[in-house]
Amino acid sequence: MDCEGYRDDLLHKRHEHTCTWFLTDERYQRWTEEDTQSILCVSGGPGCGKSVLASVISKELSNNATIRNDYLIAYFFCDDKDDRLRTAHAILVNLLAQLLNQERDILVHFLADSEYDVKRGKTLWSIAMLWRVLGRIAKDTKIKRLCLIVDALGTYKLLTQCTWV
């Protein structure tokens, strides 16, 4: 999935300055300045603008030089029109691909756990393996911290497909 293209489409469809209020909210500002690991969870009903807000946040964080210096930033937008883009596997593969594009040193975490199918000559990336890779990357103190944005994570019962580490 072209996450950047999907995000930019959402940004172009919105009215100018939509969701910018969120970027100045004290809770968001505090979250961006925290030194500890934390989760910013934004919830709301269908059609209230969570996807647009996620696109604004991901663009803002990606454009912020201070944050980019300290974090690897990856994002994913679950697509209600494409069943393939509403799975834990799709989310993890896309997030990990974005992280790998930013930081080649994390390749070692992939190599430590690949499941190679000799008959087909390709690597199989199970959900469990992808979670292990993401967990190792998150614990790696030699690389930047992670900032992961996933839009509509709970909408499609994706949480039931995930084993949290």
**What percent of the residues of the chain are helix, what percent strand, and what percent coil, each to the nearest 5?**
55, 10, 35
d(C-alpha 63, C-alpha 140), whole Å: 24
Distance, CA of 51 to chain centre: 13
d(C-alpha 34, C-alpha 63), whole Å: 18
Enter the pTM of the model: 0.80
Q: Is the pLDDT of residue 100 over 80?
A: yes
Domain span at 32: 3-161
- Give the number of domains in the chain: 1
Beta strands in 1-158 (DSSP E): 71-77, 115-117, 122-124, 145-151
Averaged over 96-107, what is the pLDDT?
A: 92
Which tokens go with 48?
């209230």
Which tokens go with 90?
């799709």
pLDDT of residue 121: 55
Side-chain half-sphere exposure of 162, counting CA atoms within 13 A: 18
Per-residue pLDDT tens digits for 117-154: 445 555 567 888 889 999 999 999 999 988 888 887 76
d(C-alpha 46, C-alpha 26), whole Å: 25
Which tokens go with 24?
């100045």
d(C-alpha 10, C-alpha 20), whole Å: 14
Crossing angle of helices 50-63 and 3-13, in 10° steps, is 110
